[in-house]
Amino acid sequence: MENKTDKKLLTGNEAIARGAYEAGVKVAAAYPGTPSTEILENISQYKDIYCQWSVNEKVALEVASGASIAGARVLVAMKHVGLNVASDPFMTLAYTGVNGGLVIVCADDPFMHSSQNEQDNRFYAKFARVPMLEPTDSQEALDMVKEAFKISEDFDTPVILRTTTRISHSRSLAITADKTGLAERKYKKDSQKYVMIPAYGRIRHEVLLERWARLKDFCEDEKFHEIFKPEGKNSVNDIGIITSGISFQYSREIFYNIPILKLKITNPLPERAIRKFSRGKRLLIVIEELEPFLEEQIRLLDLGVQIAGKDYFPQTGELNLTVLEKVHSQLFGTNLLSISESDKIVEELTGNLPQRPPVLCAGCSHRSVFYILKKLKVKAMGDIGCYTLSVLPPLSALDSCLCMGAGIGQALGMEKADPDLKNKVVSVIGDSTFFHSGITPLLDSSYNNGTGLIIILDNGTTAMTGHQVHPGTGKTLMGADTKDIKPEAFAAAAGVKNIRIVDPYDIKTLEKILKEELDRKELSIVVCRRKCVLLDKAKVSVSAKFYIDESTCEKCGICLKFGCPAIELRRNNYLINELLCTGCGVCADICRSDSIKAK
């Protein structure tokens, strides 16, 4: 990318990447996770920044910590649940502080567009006493990255830049600038600062508290909060809005005639600014997504003003203009923009449209595994990945999905709790998820004499987040050749004797192997290896398409139960959509009348 001042239309993630470049970042690390994935993908385009996909968020933050100690400015990015994984080093980093600036971009996912929960990570910042900035658009995202690095180095602390899905993926104009020239920082040995034995840790805790007191004064600077005053005869000045992040954008549209205090830093909270804003107000409306993070702290200020917050706004999902308009109607008995009426019209127009549920892609190598597991009537403890979609009809094969790497431990727990479940429980995990969090539960199962079957779905990529590389691909984020590490090598090192590798397109062999391994009385591993069908090198030629011979088709419906979107039922006729068919041929193997044939 060019290094010049310019105005560009950027997503929040692109703006964060640009801000990292302009701030002089030398190292960036992350694990892919929606909605944060594109941050590292965009930073990697700046060739003078070292970027890496780490095996998980904990490792990414530890790499970032080391780079910071060495004197570099470093950015680490993760989705909200990634900070759960990284919480161990995160909490202690607040004690040790930094050398080079260290910024943690944490992208929350209200409404769970692509997540297993919608936890509000603002509480992590409060818990650790780490400063937190929240942008409202791409320009602020870019600028706040640079400001965050300055705060990090001035106050010797990691800093959180907290975004949400709408900030991450929405586009707005941002003015870019040249790369910042920085005074060079070098590594300096300081054991009392970085070695957290109890004696030093107690000292650093005092340092943390003293730093926090200074940050509470610092956050009162006017650059960290902005008041938007309404103009015109309809202005209302005895009511005020306090908000941050994407909620500000909704607030300014619906409550346009009410003063708004936009908080750019939300931890620590600028209490004096809030007190000043509340003077002369009879009502403060606190608008925020998810938890009442701001509201609870504002109530504790005892401002002597009525406060409206989560007693009006939902505590789940995203906010939007419709939600805010409904609250406006509740509070003031008006309907400013008739958004509710628009919603009704849209609902009437779309209500009768057929639903399109998420499905595994046509030709997905995971499908045959879950088809067989359902057929064998086993309990399948799943994991995070594309294959989580196997919980939906017609496969309906998944019994659990908790978090990255959980399925293996859950399967062990089930067999230990109920001996009758032995040989009836399997765990299913993808290759990237295995490298992320599956190795330790595999070791635990082997060590504690587990007897279950662990199925590793190896499609050679981190598919769900956009086909990022991982330790099993032989490539790094920066395109360098590296070791091609196989999951079965870890299984062998953990003492697992029974390791089988199978092509999941060979569904008959797959079923035979799964039956054999389920009958074993000891731990076994089956690696189902086939490149993701969406990778260019894995695509099948057009000549390998299949069709259904109507003259012999029994219309039994077995092919539909396989769940491939290329197989369709139209006017009681079964057919294969040539535009979707990838030619995997698995459907031909399950057809009992041999009516599915290659063209």
For residues 383 and 405, give the distance between their C-alpha atoms in angstroms, rounded to a whole number: 6
The residue type of 553 is C
Q: Is the peptide bond before 394 cis (omega within 30 degrees of 0)?
A: yes
DSSP assignment of 377-413: T-EEE--SSGGGGGGSTTT----B--STTHHHHHHHH
CATH code where residue 182 lies: 3.40.50.970
| pLDDT grade for 539, boundaries at 50, 70 and 90 | low
1 assigned to some structural domain: no
Residue 472 pLDDT more than 80? yes
**Same domain as 534, residue 546:** no
Give per-residue pLDDT as tens, 27-81.
Answer: 999 999 999 999 999 999 999 999 999 999 999 999 999 999 999 999 999 999 9
The b-or-e profile of 57-88 (16+ CB within 10 A means b, else e) is: bbbbbbbbbebbbebbbbbbbbbbbbbbbbbe
pLDDT at 3 over 80: no
- Domains contained in the chain, number: 4
The rounded percent of the chain whose pLDDT value lies above 70 is 96
Our CA dihedral for 326, 330, 331, 337, rounded to 10 degrees, sits at 40
Same domain flag for 382 and 302: no
Number of C-beta neighbours around residue 531 at 10 A: 15
pLDDT digit string, tens, across residues 505-515 = 999 999 999 99
Question: Are 444 and 457 found together in one domain?
Answer: yes
Reported confidence tier of residue 354, pLDDT bands at 50, 70, 90: confident
Same domain, 149 and 238: no
Same domain for 38 and 120, yes or no, is yes
CB 388 within 8 A of CB 430: no
**Residues pairing with 76 in the sheet:** 29, 104
pTM surpassing 0.85?
Answer: yes
**Nearest-angstrom CA–CA distance, 269 and 217:** 10
Same domain, residue pair 389 and 318: no
Look at residue 355 and tell me if it is in a domain: no
> Residue 260 is part of a domain; what is its CATH number?
3.40.50.920
Average pLDDT of the chain is: 95
| Helix (H), strand (E), coil (C) string for 202-254 | HHHHHHHHHHHHHHHHHCCCHHHEEEECCCCCCCCCCEEEEECCHHHHHHHHH
| CATH code of the domain containing 565 | 3.30.70.20
CA angle 291, 295, 298 (to 5 degrees): 150
Region 233-243 average pLDDT: 93
Does 338 score more than 70 pLDDT?
no
Q: 183 with 271, same domain?
A: no
Evaluate whether residue 474 is within a structural domain: yes
Domain that holds residue 188: 6-218
DSSP state of 539: P
Give the C-alpha separation, 550 to 273, whole Å: 74
For residues 213 and 229, state if they share a domain: no
